[in-house]
Amino acid sequence: MQDATLREVCAKYKVSRRAVQGYEKAGIVKSTGRNKMGHLLYDDSAQERIGMVRMYQEAGFSIKEIKDIIDAPWVSIKPILENQICKLKMEKEHIQRQIEILCDLIKN
């Protein structure tokens, strides 16, 4: 990979400019320079971090939680991920019950 502009990073990870700016403000990621036109650039490492942030967000973690875990050692992260899996499974069961209730309403 090569350095990518903010626009390219946003397109690649399907994230808004404002979101990346929020990651920067939170101290999770930072640009690695500017091109000759003054656009922010992100190297491979920064791009990988943005991808990780997106993955954690999609798994239900807040920016604050992501900031705490993104650089933590695996031994610390593993139980946090296991706990999140339990939370997501409970949410899934709740949603499934709601779907069944609505399906029953439609049938009647």
Q: Inter-axis angle of helices 6-13 and 44-58, to 10 degrees?
A: 40
Residues 17/6, Cβ–Cβ less than 8 Å: yes
Summarised one tens digit per residue, pLDDT across range 53-84 is 999 999 999 999 999 999 999 999 999 999 99
Domain 1-71 is found in CATH 1.10.1040.10:
no
pLDDT for 83 equals 97
In this prediction, residue 106 carries a pLDDT of 95
For the chain, what percent of residues have pLDDT higher than 90? 97
Compute the average pLDDT of residues 13-29. Answer: 96
User: Using 50, 70 and 90 to split pLDDT, how confident is the model at 2?
Assistant: confident
Q: Inform me whether the pLDDT recorded for 1 exceeds 70.
A: no
For the chain, domain boundaries:
1-71, 73-108
Q: What is the pTM of this model?
A: 0.84
Mean pLDDT of 31-55: 95
Give the full edge-to-edge strand order of the sheet including 33-34.
Answer: 4-5, 40-42, 33-34
Q: Which whole-number Å values give the CA distances from 86 to 24, 61, 62, 75, 82, in the listed order? A: 30, 13, 16, 18, 6
